[in-house]
Amino acid sequence: MARVIGGIGISHTPSMGIEYDSAEGGALAFTPEWQPWFDGTRPVRDLVAELDPDHMVVIYNDHLNYFTLDNYPTLAIGVGNEFPQMDEGWGPRALPPLPGSHEWGIHLSRHLIENNFDMAVCHDLGIDHGIFSWLPYVLDRPFPIPVTPIAVNMIREPLPRPQRIAALGSALRQAIEAYPGDQRVLVIATGGMSHQISGARFGMANADLDSWFLDQLPDHLDELLKIEISEFMRLGGTEAAELALWYAMRTALSDNATVRYSFSTFPKITGCGVLAMTEPTEEKQ
């Protein structure tokens, strides 16, 4: 059977991708605000290379770049063999499409739907900065590992409950383990940390909340789940709601998973961080 070997929670922001392109992926210096993020993602890149997964499942949210308010699913899964990049208004970036796996996508769809997660099944899922902003920091191009993207609504009320997102991660682990064949799977959840990009509180953030969240997630998920998403929005800005997506990464792992790396910084507008955990079978010798 396939197995989950590790999980990564990681931030995304549009500016993260723009800064990557401006610095030509590290060939040039990053701006002083963003150099710490590039440096802080080097251990993540090394860890992904060390783990050498056969497949990745990425839980993210679309920012009205593919889905629209006219038809916005709470849960959606990509089942194509390739996912295009959405143009977010500044033109397409020089990135290849995201590689997918129809076989994995259909398998996970079937298993999740049979376990009462009613996914919108998407063959032509366009992907925005929710995945493309951080991906080049942790994977060299052309992206070598097929991905099953799972989009969760973090944009339009009503949002899914935190417990529902945590349950999705648990169901995902079962679905992965039901896949025939000896494949190693890395589960990644991505959501912006504290930030607010609209309204009277534009620009507010809470770096203390971000680092506290990174400390709590590995071993105190039950306590985090008692906090309403609206409370994260109050403390960290409206878009801090996306932190709830990270729960699915934690519950896709066993209780015995351990922290391999944790890092946070605050480049501009949005808190940025990483939490990387691995299963005991993957601990460095």
Select the span of 94-102, 106-114, 211-219, 237-245 touching Fe ion (CB under 5 A).
Answer: 237-245
Least distance (Å) between residue 192 CB and Fe ion? 4
In the residue annotation, 102 being an active-site residue is answered as no
What is d(CA 203, CA 189) in angstroms, rounded to the nearest whole number? 24
- Among 138, 130, 143, smallest CA distance to 245 is for 130
Quickly tell me which residue has 């990135």 as its tokens.
95
Determine which residue in the list 6, 9, 100, 192 makes contact with Fe ion, applying CB under 5 A: 192
Peptide bond into 53 cis (omega under 30): no
- Determine whether 105 is exposed, middle or buried from the number of CB atoms within 10 Å of its CB (0-12, 13-18, 19+): buried
Least distance (Å) between residue 189 CB and Fe ion? 12
Compare residues 149 and 192 and give the one whose CB is closer to Fe ion: 192
Q: Give the up-direction half-sphere exposure of residue 22: CA atoms within 13 A in the CB hemisphere.
A: 13
Select the span of 192-200, 211-219, 223-231, 270-278 touching Fe ion (CB under 5 A).
Answer: 192-200
- Pick the catalytic residue from 12, 111, 195, 220: 195
Residue pair 186/48 in contact by the 8 Å Cβ criterion: yes
Select the span of 16-24, 65-73, 95-103, 184-192 touching Fe ion (CB under 5 A).
Answer: 184-192
What is d(CA 184, CA 55) in angstroms, rounded to the nearest whole number? 7
Select the span of 70-78, 106-114, 238-246, 256-264 touching Fe ion (CB under 5 A).
Answer: 238-246
Residue pair 285/24 in contact by the 8 Å Cβ criterion: no
164 phi, psi to nearest 5 deg: -70, -40
Compare residues 7 and 192 and give the one whose CB is closer to Fe ion: 192
Least distance (Å) between residue 106 CB and Fe ion? 27
Least distance (Å) between residue 14 CB and Fe ion? 9
Quick check: helix, strand or coil at residue 211? Answer: helix
- Pick the catalytic residue from 55, 107, 111, 129: 129
Residue 149 is a binding residue for Fe ion (CB under 5 A): no
| Residue 94 DSSP one-character state | S
Least distance (Å) between residue 92 CB and Fe ion? 19
In the residue annotation, 12 being an active-site residue is answered as no
**Contact residues for Fe ion (CB under 5 A)?**
192, 242
Q: Show which residues are catalytic.
A: 129, 195
